[in-house]
């Protein structure tokens, strides 16, 4: 049975880079996306062109039924050909820069649903399939957090920082909960990475403006984060669990 990794938000940015890197190392990859079917299919095509195995699956991880439907689709299609051995909780969103006193409920609720509750729901489904407690063969879960969890993102998006701090708490607790069941759970904490997420938050010049705060004086690439994700996913990190790996250029 081939090892399969399900990556949320793998149509663009860090997730797309991690999907391609994992596929190059022999993983069959489920490329989850929310809206950009074109981008997801481009990732799948690129992986297949290199001889890898990939399938695109649409699901909004911020919707209560979205995650259940995603895993049901997984069971029906890839479940017959391989076993779920990896989950990368990468899907994430930001919102426009605002102080806390200018935020409304709807915006912060959406951030927490996608960045935190969606990841928790995916982890739940993955544990049900990977844990030796349920007859599974173990696996690895990688949660994509953010340096915002320890910086707090003042004046930008404290609610986003909060969603990532909660994601890290989930990583630590779940790691200890399932450590004896063959599952490792770790997190990666990217810093300023060159993707479209900054423009999607209405601030395309964000990287350029903040890069002087990075000790290395440059932004990171999606591929540099993907290397950390895929290492934590792989057996090369077999004694790591409950770890949080900064990929921030020292920021």
Q: Is 249 in the site for ligand NAP (CB under 6 A)?
A: no
Kindly write out the interface string for residues 132-171 of this chain, putting x where it contacts ligand NAP by CB under 6 A and - elsewhere.
------------x-x-------------------------
Instruction: Note whether 168 and 197 are within 8 A (CB).
Output: no
**Using the rule CB under 6 A, which residue among 4, 5, 6, 14 binds ligand NAP?**
14
Q: Is 200 in the site for ligand NAP (CB under 6 A)?
A: yes
Span from 21-29, 91-99, 178-186, 233-241 in contact with ligand NAP (CB under 6 A)? 91-99
Tell the smallest beta-carbon distance from residue 180 to ligand NAP (Å). 28
Instruction: Note whether 10 and 27 are within 8 A (CB).
Output: no
Whether 33 is catalytic is no
CA distance 176 to 32: 27
Q: Is 247 in the site for ligand NAP (CB under 6 A)?
A: no
Span from 2-10, 79-87, 174-182, 234-242 in contact with ligand NAP (CB under 6 A)? 2-10
Span from 20-28, 99-107, 189-197, 226-234 in contact with ligand NAP (CB under 6 A)? 189-197
End-to-end CA distance of the chain: 41
**Using the rule CB under 6 A, which residue among 3, 12, 129, 251 binds ligand NAP?**
12
Tell the smallest beta-carbon distance from residue 92 to ligand NAP (Å). 2
Q: Is 13 in the site for ligand NAP (CB under 6 A)?
A: yes
| Binding to ligand NAP, residues 21-60 (CB under 6 A) | 32-36, 39, 60
Secondary structure (DSSP) of the chain: -EEEEEETT-SSHHHHHHHHHHHHTT-EEEEEESS-HHHHHHHHHHHHHTT--EEEEE--TTSHHHHHHHHHHHHHTGGGTEEEEEEEE----------GGG--HHHHHHHHIIIIIHHHHHHHHHHHHH-GGGT---EEEEEE--THHHH--TTT-HHHHHHHHHHHHHHHHHHHHHGGGTEEEEEEEE-SB-STHHHHTT-TTHHHHHGGGSTTSSPBPHHHHHHHHHHHHSGGGTT--S-EEEESTT-
Choose, from 33, 157, 160, 239, the residue flagged as catalytic: 160
Q: Which is nearer to ligand NAP, 114 or 142 (CB)?
A: 114
Catalytic residues: 160
Q: Which residues bind ligand NAP (CB under 6 A)?
A: 8-15, 32-36, 39, 60-62, 90-93, 114, 144, 146, 190, 192-193, 195-197, 200
């Amino acid at each position: 049975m081939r090892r399969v990794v399900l990556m949320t938000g793998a149509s663009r940015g860090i997730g797309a880079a991690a999907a391609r890197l994992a596929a190059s190392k022999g993983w069959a990859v489920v490329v989850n996306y929310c809206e950009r079917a074109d981008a997801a299919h481009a990732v799948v095509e690129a992986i297949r062109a290199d001889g890898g195995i990939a399938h695109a699956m649409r699901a909004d991880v911020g919707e209560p039924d979205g995650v259940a439907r995603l895993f049901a689709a997984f069971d029906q299609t890839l479940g017959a050909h391989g076993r779920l051995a990896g989950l990368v909780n990468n899907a994430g969103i930001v919102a426009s820069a605002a102080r806390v006193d200018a935020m409304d409920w709807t915006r912060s609720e959406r951030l927490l649903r996608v960045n935190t509750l969606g990841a928790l729901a995916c982890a739940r489904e993955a544990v049900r399939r990977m844990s030796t407690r349920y007859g599974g063969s173990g696996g690895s879960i990688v949660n994509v957090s953010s340096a915002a969890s320890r910086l707090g993102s003042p004046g930008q998006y404290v609610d986003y920082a909060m969603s990532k701090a909660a994601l890290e708490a989930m990583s630590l607790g779940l790691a200890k909960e399932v450590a004896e069941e063959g599952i490792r759970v770790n997190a990666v904490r990217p810093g300023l990475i060159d993707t479209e997420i900054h423009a999607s938050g209405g601030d395309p010049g964000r990287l350029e403006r903040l890069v002087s705060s990075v000790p290395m004086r440059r932004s990171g690439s999606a591929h540099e984060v993907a290397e950390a994700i895929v290492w934590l996913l792989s057996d090369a990190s077999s004694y790591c669990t409950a770890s949080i790996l900064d990929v921030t250029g020292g920021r």
